[in-house]
Amino acid sequence: MARSVIFEAPGGPEVMKFVERPLGEPGPGEVRIRHHACGLNYIDIYQRSGVYPLPLPHGLGMEGAGIVEAVGEGVQHLAEGDRVAYASAPPGAYCDARVMSAAQVCRLPDGIDFRTGAAMMLQGLTVEYLFHRTVPLKAGDTVLFHAAAGGVGLIACQWARALGIRLIGTAGTDEKCALAREYGAAEVINYAREDFVTRVRELTDGRGVDVVMDSVGKATFEGSLDCLRPVGMMISFGNASGKVPPFDLGILGAKGCLQLTRPTLFVHIAHQETCQKMAAHLFEMVESGKVEIRIGQEFALQDVAEAHRQMEARSTTGSSVLIV
CB proximity list for 61: less than 8 A, separation 6 or greater: 5, 38, 39, 40, 44, 91, 92, 93, 94, 95, 322
> What domains can you pick out in the chain, each with its CATH number?
2-123+266-323 (3.90.180.10), 135-262 (3.40.50.720)
Rounded to the nearest integer, the mean pLDDT of the chain is 96
Q: Does the pLDDT of residue 205 top 90, yes or no?
A: yes
Backbone angles phi, psi at 38, to 5 degrees: -130, 145
| DSSP string for 91-118 | S--SBSEEEEESTTEEEPPTTS-HHHHH
Report pLDDT for 29: 98
Distance CA 124, CA 286 (A): 9
pLDDT of residue 252: 97
Across the beta sheet with 2-7, what order do the strands follow? 16-21, 2-7, 58-59
pLDDT of 239:
85
Q: Report the pLDDT value the prediction gives residue 317, as an integer from 0 to 100.
A: 83
**CA 241 → CA 42, 120, 217, distances in Å?**
11, 23, 6
Tell me the average pLDDT across 68-82.
98
Per-residue model confidence (pLDDT) at position 314? 84
Q: Is the pLDDT of residue 301 over 90?
A: yes
Q: Which amino acid is at 48?
A: R
pLDDT at 97: 97
CA distance 175 to 265: 29
Q: What is the mean pLDDT of residues 81-109?
A: 97
Whole-angstrom Cα distance, residue 212 to residue 225? 8
Q: Are 118 and 321 in contact (CB under 8 A)?
A: yes
What is the pLDDT averaged over residues 3-27?
A: 96
Q: Indicate if the alpha-carbon torsion angle 84, 88, 93, 98 is positive or negative.
A: negative
Model confidence at 85, pLDDT cuts 50, 70, 90, reads very high
User: Does the structure show a pLDDT above 90 at 303?
Assistant: yes
Tell me the pLDDT band of 243, cut-offs 50, 70 and 90. Answer: confident
Give yes or no for residue 219 having a pLDDT over 90.
Answer: yes
pLDDT of residue 161: 98
Burial letters 118-144, b for 16+ CB under 10 A, else e: bbbbbbbbbbbbbbeebbebeeebbbb
Contact 199, 180 (CB under 8 A): no
* pLDDT score for 1: 87
- What is the share, in percent, of the chain residues with pLDDT greater than 90? 92
Note whether 63 and 118 are within 8 A (CB): yes
Neighbouring C-alpha atoms within 13 Å toward the C-beta of 146: 27
Q: How confident is the model at residue 59 (pLDDT cuts 50, 70, 90)?
A: very high
Does 241 have pLDDT greater than 90?
Answer: no
Of 38, 28, 2, whose CA–CA distance to 320 is shortest? 38
Residue 257 is predicted with a pLDDT of: 97
Quick: pLDDT tens for 283-297: 999 999 999 999 999
- Above 90 in pLDDT, residue 167? yes
What number is the average pLDDT over the span 132-148? Answer: 96
CA 190 – CA 204 distance, rounded (Å): 17
- The half-sphere exposure of 211 on its side-chain side, counting CA atoms within 13 A, is 23
Helix intervals (H) in the chain = 42-49, 114-132, 151-163, 174-182, 196-203, 221-226, 250-254, 265-268, 272-287, 304-312
The reported pLDDT for the residue numbered 73 is 97
For residues 122-139, average pLDDT: 96
* Mean pLDDT computed over 195-210: 98
